[in-house]
Chain A
Amino acid sequence: MKSRGGGIAVIFCVLLWDLNCLAALGGDVSSVQSDALHLQGTLRVTPNALYALHEIETPTGIQVREYVSPAGKVFAVAWQGPWRPDLHQLLGSYFVPFQQAARASKQRPGRAPLSIHQANLFVEHSGQMRFFRGRAYLSDEFPAGVKAESIR
């Protein structure tokens, strides 16, 4: 039932090229908080056996990938590009926990990639000015068979 609902949402997106078909991390794909619309990106949806991959290319050249489970839930997002994406949009309700953890992450001062691990929330951000890449995922929301290495 849940699986079928997710599939219908995916088909709906593909048919209408609807930019309202993405949600933030932990969000429901059918509840439709639109990352693509917010990011003004073009969307491509590729379903596979384990999840549906929603790819957005923003006009500023950032590639965003959202991983949607068969139950229709965004369990991971990944990004890459010359700038940082709108993390408030991509992380949704997890933005504030991420922000607090990032601020508290340094044992000592020092510029370094971010690696946040709080309960089920993982956020990793790497790169340097004019080249960034990162990912965020909910480890307890992975569909069966999905590994963290797949999120990139």
Chain B
Amino acid sequence: MKAARVACLTNFTAVIAAACLLADCGGSGSHTNTIIPPGTNVMAISVNGGAAGNYANGVFTSVTVCIPSTTNCQTISSVLVDTGSYGLRLLSSAGGGALTLSLPTQAGPIGQCGLFVDGYTWGPVATADIQMASEKANGVPVQIIDSTFSTVPTACNNAGGGVEMDDLHSLGANGILGVGPFLQDCGSACTATGSSNPGLYYNCASAPCQVTAQPLAQQVSNPVGFFATDNNGVIVELPAVASAAASISGSLVFGIGTQTNNGLRTATVFPLDSNGFTTSFHNVSYPAFIDSGSNGLFFLDSTTTSIPVCSDNSFYCPSGNTSLSAIIVSGGARETVMFAVQNADNLFSVANVNVFPGLAAPNPGTFDWGLPFFFGRNVFTAIESRSTPGGTGPYWAF
């Protein structure tokens, strides 16, 4: 019964999407959006539970990785598409480890501490040729996540809260594809010597590894920036989801305004500059960000939203569907966003469901527009210093 209803909704969404393709709906203000089918600059993505089987609200793709300048390649599945990080990181065990462990590591060797909101990744920096759709990124610094690569530096473990993500269980994916609005995972700060270096890169010639200055060109990097064309950003396109579902499919489109299929159209541009990217709720402004790698809508607290939390204090657990609105603001750009919160305990009580449009949790003082924000809304991420028809990145647009 439940499965049948989900199937019907999925079909319904597909029909609407098809109708919009024909009628050129544009999507502004409605809950439908155009999803470009896979092609030369378009890669298939899916919210399907991933390799772990039960990842909630994770959007995954397959990435082909090659030993540089060879045809020795392997396609790694269930890689998380993350607009909130930078660079490709693969578990050393991904795909059986045949290729990941054969990639040449940077001389040193260089170890890296990848900082995420809920933990860290540790392992060597290697170089790979990466193919996504028909686009190629050659000689890209990537991270191989491998806890057996030297001892994790104490500073890395301390900054990462002692939560190492080093296997399928802890990472929930075979890897993370960081396609956010910056080119590198650190930037100029990591090129410095002395106390201003944040300590993300280490020389591991001898134990223990020592913090080292890492040139920009050798930092773990957003592979989209390495493409010959379509290298100024990405669009994540996922269908609207009326209620929790087993899986949905969409597209990761490369380039903004570089082809006939990746124009901004009616999207509003929200620059990421010193003005700040904020969200206003009940007339109070809060720092905010958009992040396909966050698996829910994470915002404010129970007192401010009047939404109760679940008995284990994790997610929001309203008694029924709760509709809310907030205003996303950056500089002169403003857009009202309608969204809904559902009872997480009820959502998680149904088996084989991985797509949750109403999954939300407290995040005091901040708005984290995670994956549910992307459902039914094409979200553009423009890369720093790259020009687009909507201006120079970095920016988000939707």
Contact = CB atoms under 8 A, between A and B. Distances in A.
Interface of A: 40, 59-61, 82-89, 95-96, 98-99, 102-103, 105, 107-115, 117, 124-133, 135, 148-149, 152
A132 B57 contact: no
B373 interface: no
B364 interface: yes
B289 A115 contact: no
A102 B119 contact: yes
Given A103-B163, A129-B85, A111 B295 contact: yes
Contacts of B298: 112-113, 126
Contacts of A124: 363-364
A134 B219 CA distance: 26
Most A CB contacts (10 A, CB to CB) among B54, B86, B117 go to B117
30 contacts: A59-B196, A83-B200, A84-B159, A84-B160, A86-B155, A88-B162, A89-B158, A99-B163, A107-B312, A107-B348, A108-B54, A109-B52, A109-B54, A109-B172, A109-B173, A111-B58, A112-B117, A112-B118, A113-B117, A113-B294, A113-B368, A126-B365, A127-B117, A128-B116, A129-B180, A129-B185, A130-B185, A131-B289, A149-B365, A152-B364
Contacts of B82: 111
Interface of B: 50, 52, 54-58, 80, 82, 84-86, 114-119, 155, 157-163, 169, 171-173, 178, 180, 182, 185-187, 189, 194-200, 287, 289, 291, 293-296, 298, 312-314, 348, 361-366, 368, 370
Given A99-B162, A109-B50, A111-B118, A82 B314 contact: no
Given A82-B198, A112-B294, A126 B366 contact: yes
A25 B46 CA distance: 42
B115 A110 contact: no
A78 B155 CA distance: 19
B116 to A, nearest CB: 7
Most B CB contacts (10 A, CB to CB) among A95, A113, A125 go to A113
B149 to A, nearest CB: 20
A102 B366 contact: no
Given A111-B80, A128-B84, 19 more contacts: A40-B195, A60-B195, A96-B162, A99-B163, A102-B118, A102-B162, A102-B163, A107-B348, A109-B50, A109-B55, A110-B295, A110-B296, A113-B294, A114-B118, A129-B114, A129-B115, A129-B178, A148-B364, A152-B365
A88 B161 CA distance: 7
A59 B196 CA distance: 5
Contact of A115 (B157, B163, B196, B313): B313
Given A109-B172, A114-B161, A126 B117 contact: yes
B314 A115 contact: yes
A107 B161 contact: no
Nearest to A39: B195
A87 B114 CA distance: 15
B119 to A, nearest CB: 7
B56 A110 contact: yes
Given A82-B198, A83-B200, A128-B85, A115 B159 contact: no
A127 B196 CA distance: 21
Given A112-B118, A129-B86, A130-B185, A84 B80 contact: no
Contact of B198 (A60, A111, A114): A60
Contacts of A111: 58, 80, 82, 84, 116-118, 172, 293-295
Most B CB contacts (10 A, CB to CB) among A61, A109, A110, A127 go to A110
B126 to A, nearest CB: 19
Contacts of A84: 115, 159-161
Contacts of A133: 287, 365-366
Nearest to B82: A111
B158 A88 contact: yes
A87 B56 contact: no
A91 to B, nearest CB: 9
A126 to B, nearest CB: 5
Most B CB contacts (10 A, CB to CB) among A60, A105, A111, A152 go to A111
Contacts of A108: 54-56, 348
